[in-house]
Amino acid sequence: MRPAPLLFEPPEAVAEAEHFFDLESIEDPRELLARSTELALAFRAAADRAVEFQAVAAAQLADPRRFDRLPTAAIAEQAEWSEDYTRKMVEFGRGLLRGSRTAE
C-alpha cells in the first residue's frame, strides 16, 4: 500500500511567540509577583522531589544484592555526576529507601 497523495499543501507552521505560563500577559505587578512566586516555589518543590527520585534510583542501581548492579562510575557517567556526588546520592537514596520501608 502507498500513502494517499496530498491534494493540498499543509499550512506552514507559524512561529508563535514564546509563552511562559502566560506570565507575559499579566500587567498588574502584584499579580505578576504572586503568580511568578507561586511558580518558582512549585518548580523548586518539583526539583527537590526529582532529586529524591534520582537518589533512590542511584541507590537501587548500586544495590549489591542486584545481579545487574552498576558500579559508581557507571552511574556517575549516566547521570552526568562526579563519582563523589554519586556516592553521596547513593547514600541519600539508601536513607530514603530505609525510611520508606519503616513507614509501611
Please report the pLDDT score of residue 98 as a whole number. 92
Q: What is the pLDDT of residue 53?
A: 97
The alpha-helical segments, DSSP class H, found in 18-103 are 29-62, 72-79, 83-103
pLDDT score, position 20: 84
Query: What is the pLDDT, as a whole number, of residue 89?
Result: 97
Interval 57-103: pLDDT, tens: 999 999 999 999 999 999 999 999 999 999 999 999 999 999 876 65
Which residue carries 557507571 as its cell?
A: 74
Write down the domain spans for the chain. 28-102
Query: What secondary structure letter does DSSP report for 67?
Result: T
Report pLDDT for 21.
86
Render pLDDT for 10-60 as a digit per residue (tens, 0 to 9).
Answer: 666 666 667 788 898 899 999 999 999 999 999 999 999 999 999 999 999
What is the pLDDT at residue 19?
A: 78
